[in-house]
Structure 1
Amino acid sequence: MNGGPSGFSNAPVTRTLVIACALFTILFGIRGRSNKLGWSYQDIFKKFHIWKLMLSVFAFTSTPELIFGIYLLYYFRVFERQIGSNKYSVFILFSSIVSLLLEVLALNIIKDSSLNILSAGPYGLIFASFVPFYLDIPVSTRFRVFNLPFSDKTFMYVAGLQLLFSSWKRSLLPGICGILAGTLYHLNVLRARRMKFPEFIASFFSRLSWPSTGNRSPAAPARNTPANMPSYAGRQVEGNFPAPLTSTMEPPEDSIATLVSMGFDRNSARQALIRARNDVNAATNILLESQSH
């Protein structure tokens, strides 16, 4: 299992988010203000420091949290490649807002003195991403260590647990709220999985972030992006593809790797790319349609 081609190819929104989190965390760390990143019940309900809610999404409290958080965000770029930058932007906004609202509600109900300050960082997005990771990303390798069962997804869960319990209750509550937000998105509450931004908003991140290295597959029009977060439990795609034209170039390895990372069979991914003239998004649609028959 992998996140597809290395780097941020076809994942400009993730690239922008990772860069922003790293810069904000380092900036506040250098200035010795990391302890002011988190927010508390008093900040919201008594001082009305709503800006702390917004800031807490873009900066981690400590270096270990930054390392594990950036690693998880980097891997979860696979979802942006699956559903497109536009709909992934909606997923980020939905999971972040819903998670923050649930955190505020929980603090208002619990009023626990040990939760005086919650951990800062994009916990809502990270742990919301574990919902499609668990449901939609298939296990490709299983192995045993000291007779204990493991898979190629195990390290991701270990990294998530490390981040979840990094500050005990202060990080546990945002993580749980993130999982609930991801579940609500998966259940398509408020038709969240069908929402889309105007195209210029999603493309804005491409202009903001640094360019990726390596070959990039041409982007398909927004109307070709799958409407829902797809499920890739079935790895072998049935159905025959028409013979490619002789002028069609052999699909690049990074495009094949992107589709394989989504759970598709390598040979089916190659044939779909040939049929789609090496358009990754169009090939994804072809493979999904084949699975639905």
Structure 2
Amino acid sequence: MQAGGVSGFQNAPVTRAVVLASGLLSVVFSANRRARALGLSYQEIVKNFRLWRIFASVFAFQSTPELIFGLYLLYYFRVFERQIGSNKYSVFSLFTISVSSLLQILSLVLLKDSNYISALASGPYGLIFGSFIPFFLDIPITSRFRIFGVNFSDKSIIYLAGLQLLLSSWKRSLIPGICGLVAGSLYRLNVLGIRRMKLPQIIASFFARFFAPPPGSSSRPSRSLVGNMSSHTGRAVQNQPSTGSAPVAEPPESSIAMLVSMGFDANAARQALMRARNDINVATNILLEAQSH
């Protein structure tokens, strides 16, 4: 599935805020040559109790390759904010970041008497690798191909980017990545009913006001993608081209079933596939955008 049917950060203000914070802090600390000192360590966090280091380590990457792959994955995973809404995605982000940070600190405490590791890599590993849980479970493979005899799918590039980030600093990045996967799994299991929680409306309004792209910044506004399709009624798609173009074939039942397995209504899936001319990637994006309104 492609990163999104709407360009930029339309309907994803929380993701935009995280990307901006991560990019700016990474550049600032790198310019001051303090990036390497950002990672969580037992000495700084537990013994010296410098809690400000936790905030800095949550957002700022320590190297340019980590920054590139990290921001790419954050940008791609904005599809989940569009799917569940910015409020719930804010809860997901806070939960995965907080739980991952606590698990990282716990790992430092457990490993303090060993020579295994002294400090961990910094960056939003909790949010990134927590997002791989719904990516693995909810996003279907829609196409497969072979390169030099090796099988790949349309999801492979995301997995490869995640693997690169996970192993970018070896043990220093491996532990934060694993902690992020655990945090994402706990959210998926609805620990403490976390998936039903929402932030106060004032916080959601803050992100919508200050981090949503300005009107007209996208060349393809979200409502133009949805058009006259209703995700709840199953009405016929309107405004079909009539200037000699061939009629759209009835969507395959397998494509409809795949969209239904992602949680979409069968009638809405059929309408989206017809509008997308049976392109399941485009249809998925149409449904996600319709669901966000």
Do they fold alike, i.e. is TM over 0.5?
yes
Which residue of structure 2 lines up, in the alignment, with residue 42 of structure 1? 43
2:291 to 266, 284, 291: 284
Which residue of structure 1 lines up, in the alignment, with residue 87 of structure 2? 86
Residue 106 (1) aligns with residue 111 (2): no
Tell me the percent identity.
55
Within 5 A, what are the aligned runs for 1:129-140? Answer: 129-140=131-142
Which residue of structure 2 lines up, in the alignment, with residue 269 of structure 1? 272
**Alpha-carbon offset, residue 217 of structure 1:** 3.5
**Alpha-carbon offset, residue 126 of structure 1:** 0.3
AA matched with 1:38: G
Tell me the distance in 1 between the aligned counterparts of 2:116 and 2:288. 47
CA deviation digits over 1:149-201, x for unaligned, max 9? 10010010000000000001100000000000000000000111111011220
Q: Is the 8 A contact 2:81 2:89 kept in 1?
A: yes
Q: Is the 8 A contact 1:86 1:196 kept in 2?
A: yes
Tell me the distance in 2 between the aligned counterparts of 1:100 and 1:119. 11
SS of corresponding position for 1:197 = coil
Tell me the distance in 2 between the aligned counterparts of 1:283 and 1:35. 43
1:205/1:148 CA distance change after superposition, 3 Å = same
**Alpha-carbon offset, residue 285 of structure 1:** 8.4
AA matched with 1:268: Q
SS of corresponding position for 2:152 = strand
Q: Is the 8 A contact 2:12 2:78 kept in 1?
A: yes
1:49/1:285 CA distance change after superposition, 3 Å = closer
Aligned residues: CA RMSD: 2.9
AA matched with 1:163: L
Which residue of structure 2 lines up, in the alignment, with residue 165 of structure 1? 167
SS of corresponding position for 1:143 = strand
SS of corresponding position for 1:160 = helix
Which residue of structure 2 lines up, in the alignment, with residue 52 of structure 1? 53
Which residue of structure 1 lines up, in the alignment, with residue 226 of structure 2? none
2:188 to 186, 201, 205: 186
Tell me the distance in 1 between the aligned counterparts of 2:95 and 2:164. 24
Tell me the distance in 2 between the aligned counterparts of 1:34 and 1:198. 34
**Alpha-carbon offset, residue 266 of structure 1:** 6.5
Q: Is the 8 A contact 2:62 2:122 kept in 1?
A: yes
Tell me the distance in 2 between the aligned counterparts of 1:186 and 1:66. 26
What TM-score do the two structures reach when normalised by structure 1? 0.77
**Alpha-carbon offset, residue 207 of structure 1:** 2.4
1:161/1:285 CA distance change after superposition, 3 Å = closer
Which ranges of structure 2 fall in alignment gaps of 5 or more residues? 224-231, 241-258, 276-285
Tell me the distance in 1 between the aligned counterparts of 2:14 and 2:233. 35
Tell me the distance in 2 between the aligned counterparts of 1:142 and 1:36. 42
Tell me the distance in 2 between the aligned counterparts of 1:53 and 1:217. 36
What TM-score do the two structures reach when normalised by structure 2? 0.77
Which residue of structure 2 lines up, in the alignment, with residue 8 of structure 1? 9
**Alpha-carbon offset, residue 106 of structure 1:** 1.4
Q: Is the 8 A contact 1:269 1:283 kept in 2?
A: no
**Alpha-carbon offset, residue 62 of structure 1:** 0.6
AA matched with 2:30: G
Which residue of structure 2 lines up, in the alignment, with residue 217 of structure 1? 222
